[in-house]
Structure 1
Amino acid sequence: MSSKVGLETDLDVDQAPSEKQDLCVSVLVPAYNEQGNIEELTERVVSVLDSHYTNSELLFVDDGSADDTGEVLERLREKYGRVRVIRFWQNFGKANALSAGFDNVSGDVVVTMDADLQDDPKAIPDLVDELEEGYDLISGWRRDRQSPFFKRLSSKLYNGLTARLTGLELHDLNCGMKAYRREVLQKVDVYGGMHRYIPVMAYWAGFRVGEMVVPHHERKHGKSKYSTRRLVFGFFDLLSVTFLTKHSKAPLRLFGGLGTVFSAAGFSLGIYLLVLKYGFGQGIGNRPLLMLSMLLIITGLQVFSFGFLAEKLSAQDRIDPYYEER
């Protein structure tokens, strides 16, 4: 369905190409309480865009920041003609910030990155160029990640579990630096915490997904938004995306199978109890196995019924496959 590539690059923004590309590139940056990083990030991104592209933009989505991020962005918008700003009046989360940005970018290619200066803008041209190798989405891989040990360990376990459940093997699924063709954003909806799983949903929609090694730096200013709460919610989101990608087309196969297992176990216990009663003359009325048998049969029928309902509803919510006329 798609393939994966790990690519090492020697990034040097000072070595500008002989001629600029006409490709329209949008850089999308969600920001929350990043007043100390925004100005330097803007200068570096604008420098890269000016060196490589004749048509580009930098779109910030201020996710209801409580510090002076909004004021800094307004000043930068007036200073740089290519800078645009969307501002939420309260914090709605990264997924909503990305979704708003995706709805408002104008580029044929969209590059996302975090606002904390840990993602290096020098990687933008290489991500875009990698799309030209036949990919629809390139996910960054922070191989030399500058983060605390627990954060790196939990990320490694999370990426391994995601690969096992979804079939898409990426080293760093949660890296904020990614490049997308516009067609991907038109097919994949982002909500809740699903921004982590855009590559998975794109992969199951038929897009070609790859990855590339990108530089990663230590945080200079502000505090990380990472928390154990996000880790727990991320696991629930993983279960959701696994169902949406692997079982949304035929949920009855999943729930029907579970229902059959429960019901079969209940019927087996019932037959065992009948043999005891009529074959050996033993009383079964007070046996806990009788209640367990009835419970398993009822549960199996309910799960099976739920599968029928999910099958009917999935026609509206399943991921639409991507295709193009040749």
Structure 2
Amino acid sequence: MQKKISFVIPCYASEHTISLVVQEIITTMDDLQQYSWELVLVNDCSPDNTFEVIRNLCISNPNIIGINLARNFGQHAALMAGFNQVSGDIIVCMDDDEQTPGNEVGKLLEKIEEGYDVAYARYVSKKHSIFRNIGSRINSKMTEFLLDKPKDLYISSYFAIRRYIVDEMVKYDHSFPYVIGLVLRSTKNIANVDVTHRERQEGSSGYSIQKLLSLWMNGFTAFSVKPLRLASLLGLILAAVGFISTIILVLNKLAHPSEVMLGWSSTMAVMMLIGGVLLIVLGIIGEYIGRIYICINKSPQYIIREKVQGKKSSESLF
């Protein structure tokens, strides 16, 4: 029986590139005739005419589905919106900016056919900006520590994944989805595939420092309690240091009762250090509590304004 491949592509400010990405996928899938395919394009409330381009693509090809989100929810929420629309046996996620090579999707599919649950593209030579590369390295180290990602596993936005893993991922209905965390908690049967990485042809990365920090916070507060444990450990260390310092001061005073002990500057420095640590710990705890509160209030992962398939268009709220 012919397997079906579902492509999911989050789109943001890509009115000039998404058509080229789609055409490359169509050309590639024409060569991979052992598979049928569909393509889900999720417009994350782009400020340009991206969704109009998507609408025209849907009209020209019945295998393409267009989803228009009501506001900007972020890449991972857009992926979750796409996952809830797919019908394929294998789902392939990629970017909308031509940097991910759609013509090499066969390599990912071959790795899935070997028995792996997920196949992540690993770029031989990355063409991202220095800022994006630094952010990727930080993210990799943090996921190793907080989410138990294997050290030799490279995570990217271009990957293929089996349907049963996606079915498990969409059960997560809380407000802050983090696809990497959902994958790692579902399976460890993951492989890397070497592919090329292209230069960006237009525009710049949509990830600012603020968005990267927000994304990291989503993952680490939703899928790990290690930040809380680190806060507790830091508190124990400071308490131990404070206790030992007090013992030393008492013993010093007993040994030299006539010595005048001055320490205004050092006292203020210690107070500021401890106060800063306390505020950081309270901030971490507050972040967890705030996200629990938002989840209890059923804040949606995404809201679909419009869905287009062929010449049909419908408006929905989820």
What is the TM-score with the length of structure 2 in the denominator? Answer: 0.70
SS for the counterpart of 1:116 is coil
1:34 pairs with 2:10: no
Does the 8 A contact of 2:15 with 2:53 survive in 1? yes
Separation in structure 2 between the aligned mates of residue 294 and residue 258 of structure 1, nearest angstrom: 15
**Which residue identity does 2:81 align to in structure 1?**
A
**Which residue identity does 1:114 align to in structure 2?**
D
Number of residues of Structure 1 aligned to a counterpart in Structure 2: 288
Identity of aligned residues (%): 23
In 2 relative to 1, CA 142–252 (structure 1 residues): closer, same or farther, beyond 3 Å?
closer
Offset of residue 29 of structure 1? 0.9
Separation in structure 2 between the aligned mates of residue 43 and residue 31 of structure 1, nearest angstrom: 15
1:224 pairs with 2:204: yes
Residues 117-165 of structure 1, C-alpha deviation per residue, up to 9 Å, x if partnerless?
22222222321221232322211112133455x3575367446644764
- What is aligned with 2:233? 257
Gaps of 5+ in 2: 296-318
Aligned residue among 157, 169, 178 for 2:151: 169
- What is aligned with 2:191? 210
Separation in structure 2 between the aligned mates of residue 111 and residue 104 of structure 1, nearest angstrom: 13
Mean Cα displacement is larger for which, 276-285 or 286-295?
A: 286-295
Separation in structure 2 between the aligned mates of residue 263 and residue 152 of structure 1, nearest angstrom: 38
1:72 pairs with 2:48: no
Mean Cα displacement is larger for which, 100-109 or 297-306?
A: 297-306
- What is aligned with 2:116? 135
Mean Cα displacement is larger for which, 181-190 or 57-66?
A: 181-190
Separation in structure 1 between the aligned mates of residue 108 and residue 277 of structure 2, nearest angstrom: 49
Query: In the TM superposition, what are the counterparts of 1:166-315 in structure 2 within 5 Å?
Result: 166-169=148-151, 172-173=154-155, 175-185=156-166, 186-187=168-169, 198-199=179-180, 202-220=183-201, 222-226=202-206, 229-230=208-209, 233-234=211-212, 237-238=215-216, 241=219, 248=225, 253-282=229-258, 287-288=263-264
Structure with more relative contact order (C-alpha pairs < 8 Å, separation 6 or more): 2
Mean Cα displacement is larger for which, 104-113 or 277-286?
A: 277-286
**Which residue identity does 1:212 align to in structure 2?**
V
What is the TM-score with the length of structure 1 in the denominator? Answer: 0.69
Residues 81-100 of structure 1, C-alpha deviation per residue, up to 9 Å, x if partnerless?
11000012443322221121
Does the 8 A contact of 2:153 with 2:191 survive in 1? no
Query: In the TM superposition, what are the counterparts of 1:90-129 in structure 2 within 5 Å?
Result: 90-129=71-110
Gaps of 5+ in 1: 1-20, 318-326
CA RMSD, 1 decimal: 4.3
Offset of residue 182 of structure 1? 2.9
Residues 241-266 of structure 1, C-alpha deviation per residue, up to 9 Å, x if partnerless?
45665x52x76653332222111111
Offset of residue 183 of structure 1? 3.5
